[in-house]
Amino acid sequence: MSANTALPPTLAKIVQRFQRHSDPKQRYEQLLWYAKRLPPFPESNKQPENKVSGCVSQVYITATLADGKVSFEGDSDAQLVKGLVGLLVEGLSGLTPAEIVSVTPDFIQDTGLNVSLTPSRANGFYNIFQMMRNKALGCEVSAQAEAN
């Protein structure tokens, strides 16, 4: 449980939501719920620089910085992966780049999802997470460049 204390509040809530379900099927349903919550992703954003590499399915992530906070958008052609995207978009949006970079992906173990994800999906999760961290850093670098 100590890992949760370092999690941003929204992400900690998401982890707690998954912890309430001991049944893998209920966890999958929870993931699908996150997939449904994702706003429609603009086709125009489905560019190579927004595509997550190392994923079996098509996954796209964008990040914008406003008032020092990062907003993510994402999409996937696979529902369970889209749920992972939704979980991460909801859990990491509204944080500063520094807060995002301080989050480690091992919180997935606290959700219990890692035991029910196939190795390729688990790997995809880490790739999506890594891309979101990189995009957050990219936002910060751009913001600093504009400020100078």
What spatial distance separates the first Cα and last Cα of the chain, rounded to whole Å?
42
Question: Looking at the annotation, which residues are catalytic?
Answer: 55
Concatenate the DSSP letters of all residues of 51-74 into one string: BPTT-SS-EEEEEEEETTEEEEEE
Cβ-based neighbours of 72, under 8 Å, separated by 6 or more: 61, 62, 63, 88, 89, 92, 93, 132, 135
Taking residue 121's Cβ as centre, other Cβ atoms within 10 Å add up to: 19
